[in-house]
Structure 1
């Protein structure tokens, strides 16, 4: 079958099924089977598809995904968010719009612990918005800060996004990817804080009252157990004490102990968390399984090579190619969630990036940064909808105010794309690459 026709069949069937409201994992599977049937028999397709789906999730490192999901859900219900907000406010209390700054810094801290942008937006927004409302903050402003800073948790480790990418990209070091995400994630958070500062200063937003030494010590001591989690998990993984999967298990145990100590979780809520985590994990793992079948179909049909040739025919300048890749990934991120986007488009764009000298570690950081932007924009933008729901604002109300944040983040994305040291500096310094 002609390569162009194969590509059209695959993405047309996939797009139609999504438009009809079919679950994305089922859409991926059906479109893959439909495409494979154009050149193979049903017996061949069914056997190979099942084989690829099974091998797609037959990975020890993927066990970390459900464990990190469980840890994030425990954190979201375990009283950790409030302690991190209080700690963040110590550093932001004298800055105009201090509550917005604390929201952004809190998202960076909580996101680094939970690895979920939605969990961060929900936990931080729910905890801090009532206080912002009392102090007269514009709901749209408060929502935009939450939206723009929550996705930092997808870059700042530990994060399951890098684990999924590692399995698709051919066993790229998870430790190196974790370290590669730190600076881009921090830049994303700092960029958000700068825009929030300028807006708050212009509109004369209040600063928080000065915290006395006794209160500062108390808040810090309350936050230290939560902050130690970052050191234990990331230090253990990077130091080779345990793998990412074992680190995820340690993370779950530590969060569970903290929640019990904080007396913020009973047996009923724990069982609800287990059920929620199992459902989310099942969805993601089936998605990974179905995407493995699609990856095989695309490779068998020569689709990645065809798309690569099409992009390379536009220009031979690596800066133009990287810019074009970012544009395509940004568009993809607006209508596709992060996990399927990583699974489907890594095999297509990674070889292109590598052919122009970009390492698989740097490409991972660029890809996840692009998907972070997609979390903030409609029609899929899960963080956008969660944050708007918390403050009871509409997308129309926040759209205009969100533009400056998006512009700053786009500039930072280009910096991460064209300045390799921003993503490779830390892994290189630690001898991971």
Structure 2
């Protein structure tokens, strides 16, 4: 009966996805159908409802709506423009300088907002036209924006890393994950810049004027208090001054006060900001609800043990197993959104990699970066569609220039997978 339940679970799930049923509903329906094969209707439906409810009964998850709200305030509060001007004064004079600006601004804004979508929409809507004026094809600008915006999911604060901490069952703390994401996120950003340098030199893109030190200092001063939020939030968590949830509330207050001082947001704008953040939070929380129910069903059916036994029996080399897991997650990421993928597949693969000596924090960074690739690929790729939309180019035209950037992301993924020190150096240094 267990095998039949597993077959029904996956068959119904993929069928519903192919029928374009929203992911959250696909997860919930397939989970319910599978469980009803084992127990009666009323207890089965009651159990699913209980698991959905208890799945979000977590103090750590309170950080998500606060970080979503903080990101929405920052998106509308003129912070993106200040980031772009500061980044431009640093690197615009280099070959491909404006593309570097896009990457740096995405890294900074994505890290502060904790949202790849916010970074892609805020930075892309500003940078695409600027880059086109200096001879950059809109398709290339969109590709740079799409891939660089994912760095904010690694560089803290990151909602996805909070979700992984929950899915790991406490084996990876939010503080350790946050500090572990810095070097991989920076490495990814620099790798994207490396390819941009090659393209800029071969295609002879125009260089910008070198900014005088006075302009750099002015732009840094304008962006300083925005950048300071990173140190307040992450530094406070790492130092043990406050939890991730408390840090998220501080981020909202800080961002609101800063936006009001800058004058880019008025008090009358907050009802609409709150409504938008509430809608986003509702979608995320519903995904978490259904994903936690499916994750519980996996444990109920013994799927993590089956997967662990299968991989350890079929492959004797741990490096091959890591490769198989990465390839599996790359495929999953193409059709499943990041939040449910983290919640569903962490309980399956985490026991396997831990048995092979990989630290849970290290695996969290590998998992998130892996699924970042899926955000940039069809058919589900959220960031792909957002980035193409703000650049006003069709997805089909973006795919070709996007492919080298996706290859860069996969190369960085392999480096982070097989060189654990990239992820674990800072957590080890801070004894997290």
Q: TM-score w.r.t. structure 2 length? A: 0.97
Distance 2:134 2:217 in 1: 25
Distance 1:268 1:383 in 2: 30
> Mean Cα displacement is larger for which, 282-291 or 177-186?
282-291
| Deviation sequence 1:165-199 (CA, Å, 0-9, x none) | 11110112110000111111111111111101110
- 2:405 maps to 405
Q: Is the 8 A contact 2:90 2:216 kept in 1?
A: no
- 1:306 maps to 306
Distance 1:297 1:200 in 2: 50
> Mean Cα displacement is larger for which, 95-104 or 8-17?
8-17
Q: CA deviation at 1:313?
A: 3.4
- 1:128 maps to 127
- 1:290 maps to 290
Q: Is the 8 A contact 2:135 2:206 kept in 1?
A: no
Distance 1:383 1:291 in 2: 21
- 2:152 maps to 153
- 1:370 maps to 370
Distance 1:2 1:108 in 2: 45
- 1:59 maps to 58
Distance 1:140 1:197 in 2: 17
- 2:230 maps to 230
Point out where structure 1 has 5 or more consecutive residues left out of the alignment: none
Q: CA deviation at 1:118?
A: 1.0
- 1:263 maps to 263
- 1:142 maps to 141
SS in 1 for 2:314: coil
Q: CA deviation at 1:374?
A: 0.8
- 2:85 maps to 86
> Mean Cα displacement is larger for which, 52-61 or 78-87?
52-61
- 1:34 maps to 33
Q: Is the 8 A contact 2:284 2:339 kept in 1?
A: yes
| Deviation sequence 1:147-171 (CA, Å, 0-9, x none) | 1211000000000101111111011
- 1:193-232 aligned at under 5 Å gives the runs 193-232=193-232
User: RMSD over aligned Cα, in angstroms?
Assistant: 1.2
Distance 2:86 2:59 in 1: 36
Q: TM-score w.r.t. structure 1 length? A: 0.97
Distance 1:410 1:30 in 2: 33
Distance 2:190 2:213 in 1: 26
Distance 2:269 2:22 in 1: 28
Distance 2:179 2:264 in 1: 32
Q: CA deviation at 1:409?
A: 1.6
SS in 2 for 1:313: helix
Distance 1:262 1:315 in 2: 58
> Mean Cα displacement is larger for which, 376-385 or 296-305?
296-305
Q: CA deviation at 1:266?
A: 2.3
Point out where structure 2 has 5 or more consecutive residues left out of the alignment: none
- 1:268-283 aligned at under 5 Å gives the runs 268-283=268-283
SS in 2 for 1:280: helix
Distance 2:216 2:186 in 1: 24
Distance 2:250 2:2 in 1: 50
Q: CA deviation at 1:267?
A: 3.5
| Deviation sequence 1:367-408 (CA, Å, 0-9, x none) | 000011111111111111111112222233222222222222
| Deviation sequence 1:71-98 (CA, Å, 0-9, x none) | 1111110000000001111221221111
Distance 1:49 1:148 in 2: 37
Q: CA deviation at 1:268?
A: 4.0
Distance 1:282 1:424 in 2: 33
Asked if 1:175 is matched to 2:155, the reply is no
Distance 1:160 1:424 in 2: 20
> Mean Cα displacement is larger for which, 61-70 or 386-395?
386-395
SS in 1 for 2:169: coil
